[in-house]
Amino acid sequence: MARKLGKRTDQRMAMLRNQVSELLWYGEIETTVDRAKEVRRMAEKLITLAIRTYQDEVTVTKTKTGAKGEKTEVQFVNDGVKKLAARRRLMAELRDLKEMRAEKESKAAYVARIKDVRHPLIEKMFKEYAPKYDARATELGKGGGYTRILRTGTRRGDAAEVCILQLI
């Protein structure tokens, strides 16, 4: 049974989605133990969804006509049906985080780096986390267990039990 965490459903779901997005973007977050357990539940399901569908790609060949009438064949790699459905579900579940500009990176270099990426967190899920955890699952012979909770003690002020939730 899901924990209510002292919040109304809409507020609770918004908070959990934000924390799941932050966890997947930064790799770790600091929160209370009860929140961490709920965030872990959501994050592991989303990572599993990405793992199951990240290899579903379709190569499409299109004919383009140039300015002088010459025709050229261009190949594109599109998402397959299952990967597209998974991408849409991830976009519905996660907050869309913006790619940050690196220190001492020029604006032109930043724009060139992010010009093809519309949803950086979703791309990170399919290109970084899914292959990494899929290889880990084949190596260990089992899936799941993508996160760990490290308890750090109690918070000063309200004595809430605090922990660090990390991606492994």
* Dist. CA 76–CA 83, nearest whole Å: 16
Please check whether residue 162 is in contact with residue 32, taking contact to mean a CB–CB distance below 8 angstroms. Answer: yes
Q: pLDDT tens-digit profile of 66-94?
A: 888 888 898 988 999 999 999 999 999 99
Q: Beta-strand (E) ranges in the chain?
A: 28-32, 57-65, 71-79, 147-154, 161-167
Q: Give the number of residues written for the chain.
A: 168
| 7 Ramachandran zone, left/alpha/beta (phi>0; psi -120 to 50) | beta
Reported pTM:
0.87
Whether pLDDT at 153 is above 90: yes
pLDDT tens digits for range 93-129: 999 888 888 889 899 999 888 888 889 999 999 999 9
In angstroms, rounded to a whole number, what is the distance separating the alpha carbons of residues 154 and 138? 37
